[in-house]
Amino acid sequence: MASILAKKPKKMKLKELKILGQQLLSSRAHINNLPLLLGFISPSSPPPYVLESLLSLQSFFTTVLADLPPSQSSKKRPRIDDSAKQDPEFIYRTWLRSKFDEFVTLLIEVLISPDTEDALREILLDSFMEFVKLGNGGSFYSSIYHKLLRSIVNSPTPVDFLSELLALKYFKYIDVRYFTFISLEKLAKALDTKDTADDETAGGDGDSGSQSRESMELSIHKIHYIISHIPPLEGNDGKSEYEMWSGSGLPSNEEHDKKKLSKAQKAEDKGWKAEKQTNNVLSPASIAKKMKLKFTKAWISFLRLLIPVNVYKEVLATLHQAVIPHLSNPIILCDFLTKSYDIGGVVSVMALSSLFILMTQHGLEYPNFYEKLYALLSPSIFMAKHRAKFFQLLDSCLKSPLLPAYLAAAFAKKLSRLSICVPPSGELVIIALIHNLLRRHPSINCLVHKEDGDESEEDKNDSGSEKRPGIDHFNSEESNPIKSNAMRSSLWEIDTLRHHYCPPVSRFVLSLENDLTVRSKTTEMDIKDFSSGSYATIFGDEIRRRVKQVPLAFYKATPTSLFPESEFCGWTFKYEGSNEIKEQKTVEEDDASTKRQRIEC
């Protein structure tokens, strides 16, 4: 025994390490083996040694943990008399508590180390979660679980495998989700405070400031990964119970996480506590209410951070489906979404889905909504990644019969102008949108056909230069739809699409020639059928299309050029390799060399 203890940890054999663990479990007389076993829980130790030490330490602490006093840092640590502090048994148990805290710290250190093998990391996480399950007298040990999440978030290196493992194996338990939301809320608030402090002290060392910002962004990435992988609370019929990791379930009082227990509660015996715990089991409805509250607090704390652009876009892409339906009060996102919508560009497009839900389902009022929506109409939107969802929402936003005529006309005219400079797939969407606008708002059908004599009072008062035919009063550069003069214009751009080179466009535009004011004889276009179009989809549709009559081109003589000279009077089309062009270049080069010689003379 003495020879084994005298050996250095690096020179100890695996068999001897196993003997140390057996001795520790057999008698208190071998308690000095505990620090030796803890020395092998390290990222630098070989995996077999770490595993052997883990098995012995887990078996030892599982049996004694229920009788240990609270940690020194615990807020619920009771006040101890001086006489009790001198008790040898109390001193022994306090020492064991310090060794358990050290053991937890070492486990976390190995878990987040980049040098740890994935197989060993999975075993360590399972052991750690067993202590979370049993280490607090049968209740969820939230303090060490929070320490694990804090170490993951603040780790200077990515720990993707550990985060994936935690989400895959343990986020199916309701109590794990509950305390994860609590920890993420605290971590997000701590990052927000740290970011504010860094901004106030900025200006000293630029390198340290950039490193601090990089570490902050990495932590935000990790928080977003964890919080976005927590599954939403499934529907429950009120009878079946949720699956818990710990036996006690969720706390019956939210203040238990923040306030100390009263003296009367501390004096109650364990049997009375157990009976009370069984009687105060929360119903599924109460659990759903508490989960929704913690879910809301965690997400709101996260969205207050200075989120990087790539994470910002990921949040906006899933916010309307993964977050808003599960918030206790979705209207609290109005500030975040309106600021996102005001940014412009792709961010505004991605924020539109969530903002539309708040406006239509939760009574949010946004006075400048249609002006911002009008400003988003640009050629780039027809190549955006999320254009399909945007066009569907655009059609839904313009569906209201209470929409003013000038506003409907402005959107129709702006879309008509964009049809000149977008791909054929975008032109199909534009035709469908204008079709629906003309059908819903008969007052703007004057844009389809306007004679020269159909002049408004404003047109009659204009100067003589503006009365000439061919003048379009629409101002495409105006961001305010009221000032765009759309009602004084016409949809002449749509008429040009009848001669479009792409057959689907030229065929589809003929649908606007019908009298759309007769709603009984026409139907609305489903924008979903056109919003995801591209060159590939158009080509595929044409290939699959059955043609009754095949057009033939007959030439009396084989054509020698793509464009005959008879169709372009005054123009000649010759390729660079022709003899005439070569001779012309030679003459030009000779003239240039002659001029240079004259100058030199």
pLDDT at 82: 57
455 domain-assigned: no
- Angstrom distance (rounded) from CA 40 to CA 384: 54
The residue among 524 and 87 whose pLDDT is bigger is 524
579 domain-assigned: no
Question: Would you give the end-to-end CA distance of the chain in angstroms?
Answer: 109
CB 301, CB 192: distance < 8 Å: yes
Which residues, including other chains, have CB under 8 Å from residue 146's CB and lie 6 or more apart?
Answer: 179, 182, 183, 186
Query: What is the per-residue DSSP string for 278-345?
Result: HHTPPPHHHHHHHHHHHHHHHHHHHHTS---HHHHHHHHHHIIIIIGGG-S-GGGGHHHHHHHHHH-H
Query: What is the per-residue DSSP string for 19-51?
Result: HHHHHHHH-GGGTTHHHHHHTT-STTS-HHHHH
Residue span of the structural domain in which 524 resides: 397-449+472-542
Q: How many domains does the chain have?
A: 2
pLDDT at 104: 94
Look up residue 136 and give its DSSP letter: B
Which residues, including other chains, have CB under 8 Å from residue 196's CB and lie 6 or more apart?
Answer: none
CB 245, CB 175: distance < 8 Å: yes
Look up residue 512 and give its DSSP letter: G
Q: Which pLDDT band holds residue 269 (cuts at 50, 70, 90)?
A: very low
pLDDT at 75: 56
Task: Calculate mean pLDDT across residues 89-100.
Answer: 90
64 domain-assigned: yes
22 domain-assigned: yes
CB 486, CB 409: distance < 8 Å: yes
**Maximum average pLDDT range among 79-83, 301-305, 457-461:** 301-305
560 domain-assigned: no
Encoded amino acid at 268, one letter: E
| Boundary residue ending a domain (494, 520, 542) | 542
SS (H, E, C) 429-470: HHHHHHHHHHHHCHHHHHHCCCCCCCCCHHHHCCCHHHHCCC
535 domain-assigned: yes
As beta bridge partners, residue 136 has 139
pLDDT at 533: 85
Measured CA to CA in angstroms, residue 540 lies from 387, 503, 534 at distances of 20, 13, 10
Q: At which residue do the structure tokens 């196993």 appear?
A: 18
Task: State what percent of residues in the chain have pLDDT above 70.
Answer: 76
Q: Is 129 helix (H, G, I), strand (E, B) or coil?
A: helix
Measured CA to CA in angstroms, residue 443 lies from 61, 391, 472 at distances of 80, 23, 20
- Angstrom distance (rounded) from CA 294 to CA 185: 8
Which residues, including other chains, have CB under 8 Å from residue 134's CB and lie 6 or more apart?
Answer: 62, 65, 66, 141, 246
Task: Calculate mean pLDDT across residues 517-521.
Answer: 76
User: Would you tell me how many other CB atoms lie within 10 Å of the CB of residue 378?
Assistant: 14
Q: Which pLDDT band holds residue 256 (cuts at 50, 70, 90)?
A: very low
| Boundary residue ending a domain (542, 559, 593) | 542
418 domain-assigned: yes
The residue among 336 and 282 whose pLDDT is bigger is 336
Helical axes 88-112 vs 118-134, angle rounded to 10°: 140
Does the pLDDT value for residue 271 go beyond 50? no
Q: Of the ranges 100-109, 204-213, 371-380, 397-406, which one carries the lowest mean pLDDT score?
A: 204-213
**What digits encode the pLDDT tens for the residues 192-226?**
887 666 655 555 555 556 668 888 999 999 999 99
CB 34, CB 60: distance < 8 Å: yes
| Boundary residue ending a domain (542, 557, 573) | 542
As beta bridge partners, residue 543 has none
